[in-house]
């Protein structure tokens, strides 16, 4: 057949195809014509180096098949709910306002523990939208399983598919981990969900109870690794490998606590010149970090009594907090902020908790750094990248999903080299 008569049509189709590829690149959307799906997984308390003293064949294979960061830096305060909400929003904690695991009321003195705080809606719905809601507003479907913040609504909206763990949930149950994995993969396949955030409560609990250097922690890391292998196998069995990208990270690391006479512990009631009677409210006895609300006229008295009182206790008025912590510009943050050096916790009247491992330290401390792995059609293979802040994971996720991010503190520049498609700077989505 003589094709000369068809040449203009062929040329036009070729030109149109090139235009589509060029537009996809410039607009910052993956060139892959099939819509990308994304699974964000957090293994609570998985320190960046936990794979160094344990055989982790599945995490190692994931690194060969995708991207591994040397480590990632969470924001301060290095506690579970605040750092997870940073993953969902790309905002530092002072900007998204979930400043602690605990909801509290400085007037009544009431405090709610971690689980109950999940259901205090206005603690979470504070003006910053998590990625579930942003994705759904732009026509995608989103889900979340056990991820901190899932129980709340935002501007009256919730994740389309969601599951909140029950009270007294057993976070260590490996059988439940596999059942939850298959459930999430079913959401992707059967309900055509585009994004899911999924949370596992370990190795955090084991690190707290036995310490990060314990055999129990090493055994739990082996369980995590088996689960990583199961997650990838389940994705394949559900026919998702061509579409699904998987990011695995964590909220914070873990540090060994010194006790039993090894060090001089920090106990505020023993500090000369300090009195709990000078406070209207306090959040201490919850690890190495704390906040104080002095009574009217007592700010300087409290501050001067504590400043320099212990060589491993850091005391700041909130407006004088180190800039790298991004933990000052929020009305929920109390006037005096305390934190201890690794190995130490802050006790109030006397020690009331005896964990062998803790987090909540300065996010510059290496013990607080976390793992990062990513695999899927959007990512390069066998690529190791330099450390970055976890605040940058949000714009990366928005890019993969092809959605416009909310104002955030991250930058796609910090992660775009992980991606198969190179995106010109002029085409990036705008980040805060």
Tell me the pLDDT tens digit for each residue of 181-238.
999 999 999 999 999 999 999 999 999 999 999 999 999 999 999 999 999 999 999 9
Q: Is residue 189 part of a domain?
A: yes
Out of 324, 354, 384, a domain closes at 354
Write down the pLDDT at residue 33. 52
Q: Which residue's structure tokens are 């010194």?
A: 258
Q: How far is CA 228 from the centre of its chain?
A: 18
* CATH code of the domain containing 343: 3.30.1360.180
Q: Is residue 300 part of a domain?
A: yes
Tokens of 105: 């009321």
Average pLDDT value for the chain: 91
Same domain? For 102 and 221 the reply is yes
Say how far apart CA 413 and CA 193 lie, in whole Å: 27
Same domain? For 55 and 169 the reply is yes
226: number of Cβ within 10 Å: 16
Tokens of 277: 């009677």
126: number of Cβ within 10 Å: 17
Q: Is residue 162 part of a domain?
A: yes
Out of 336, 354, 372, a domain closes at 354
Say how far apart CA 206 and CA 37 lie, in whole Å: 32
Q: Is residue 105 part of a domain?
A: yes
Q: Encode burial over 44-65: b for 16+ CB neighbours within 10 A, e otherwise.
A: bbbbbebbeeeebebbeebbeb
Q: Check: CB of residue 163 under 8 Å from CB of residue 193.
A: no
| DSSP element (H, E) containing 60 | helix 57-65
* 66 pLDDT higher than 80: yes
Same domain? For 59 and 134 the reply is yes
* 99 pLDDT higher than 70: yes
Where does the pLDDT of residue 53 fall: very low under 50, low under 70, confident under 90, or very high at 90 and above?
Answer: very high
Q: Is residue 231 part of a domain?
A: yes
Same domain? For 236 and 378 the reply is yes
Same domain? For 220 and 88 the reply is yes
Same domain? For 271 and 178 the reply is no
Same domain? For 67 and 158 the reply is yes
Write down the pLDDT at residue 353. 86
Q: Is residue 4 part of a domain?
A: no
Same domain? For 277 and 414 the reply is no
Say how far apart CA 114 and CA 130 lie, in whole Å: 19
Same domain? For 397 and 325 the reply is no
* 29 pLDDT higher than 90: no
Same domain? For 294 and 322 the reply is yes
State the residue range of the domain holding 160.
37-257+364-427
Strand partners, 379: 419
Q: Is position 267 annotated as part of the catalytic site? A: no
8-state DSSP, 426: G
Residue predicted with more confidence, 316 or 7: 316
Q: Is residue 218 part of a domain?
A: yes
Q: Is residue 123 part of a domain?
A: yes
Instruction: Read off the pLDDT of residues 351-378 as tens digits, 9 standing for 90 and up.
Output: 998 999 999 999 999 999 999 999 999 9
Where does the pLDDT of residue 259 fall: very low under 50, low under 70, confident under 90, or very high at 90 and above?
Answer: confident
Instruction: Read off the pLDDT of residues 266-314 as tens digits, 9 standing for 90 and up.
Output: 999 999 999 999 999 999 999 999 999 999 999 999 999 999 999 999 9
Out of 354, 383, 404, a domain closes at 354
Same domain? For 414 and 282 the reply is no
Task: Lowest mean pLDDT of 46-50, 304-308, 312-316, 419-423, name the range.
Answer: 419-423
Average pLDDT in the 105-112 region?
Answer: 96
Write down the pLDDT at residue 122. 96
Q: Which residue's structure tokens are 């009594």?
A: 305
Same domain? For 134 and 239 the reply is yes
Number of domains forming the structure of the chain: 2
* CATH code of the domain containing 411: 3.40.720.10
78, 80, 227, 415: the active-site residue: 80
């Amino acid at each position: 057949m003589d094709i000369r008569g068809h040449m203009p049509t062929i040329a036009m189709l070729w030109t149109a195809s090139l235009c589509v590829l060029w537009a996809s690149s410039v607009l910052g959307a993956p060139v892959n014509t099939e819509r990308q799906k994304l699974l964000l997984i957090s293994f609570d308390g998985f320190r960046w180096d936990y794979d160094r003293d344990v055989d982790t064949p599945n995490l190692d294979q994931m690194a060969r098949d995708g991207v591994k960061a040397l480590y990632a830096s969470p924001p301060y305060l290095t506690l579970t709910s605040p750092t997870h909400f940073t993953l969902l929003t790309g905002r530092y904690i002072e900007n998204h306002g979930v400043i602690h695991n605990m909801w509290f009321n400085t007037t009544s003195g009431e405090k709610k523990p971690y689980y109950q705080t999940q259901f205090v809606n206005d603690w979470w719905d504070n003006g910053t939208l998590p990625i579930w809601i942003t994705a759904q507003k732009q026509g995608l479907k989103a889900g979340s399983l056990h991820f901190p913040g899932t129980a709340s609504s935002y501007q009256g909206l919730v994740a389309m598919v969601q599951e909140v763990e029950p009270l007294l949930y057993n976070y260590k149950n490996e059988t439940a981990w596999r059942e939850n994995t298959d459930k999430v993969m079913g959401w992707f396949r059967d309900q055509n969900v585009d994004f899911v955030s999924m949370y596992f409560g370990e190795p955090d609990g084991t690190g707290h109870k036995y310490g990060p250097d314990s055999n129990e922690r090493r055994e739990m890391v082996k369980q995590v690794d088996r689960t990583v292998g199961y997650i990838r196998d389940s994705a394949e069995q559900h026919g998702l490998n061509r579409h699904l990208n998987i990011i695995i990270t964590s909220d914070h690391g873990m540090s060994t606590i010194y006790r039993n006479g090894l060090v001089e512990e920090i106990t505020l009631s023993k500090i000369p010149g300090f009195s709990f009677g000078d406070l209207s409210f306090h959040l201490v006895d919850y690890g190495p970090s704390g906040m104080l609300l002095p009574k009217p006229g007592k700010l300087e008295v409290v501050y001067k009594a504590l400043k320099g009182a212990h060589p491993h206790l850091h005391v700041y008025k909130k407006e004088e907090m180190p800039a790298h912590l991004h933990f000052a510009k929020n009305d929920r943050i109390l006037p005096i902020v305390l934190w201890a050096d690794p190995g130490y916790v802050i006790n109030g009247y006397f020690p009331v908790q005896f964990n062998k491992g803790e987090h909540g330290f300065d996010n510059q401390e290496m013990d607080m750094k976390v793992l990062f792995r990513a695999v899927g059609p959007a990512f390069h293979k066998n690529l190791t990248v330099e450390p970055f802040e976890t605040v940058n994971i949000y714009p990366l996720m928005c890019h993969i999903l092809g959605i416009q991010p909310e104002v955030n503190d991250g930058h796609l520049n910090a992660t775009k080299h992980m991606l198969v498609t190179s995106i010109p700077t002029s085409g990036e989505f705008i980040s805060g």
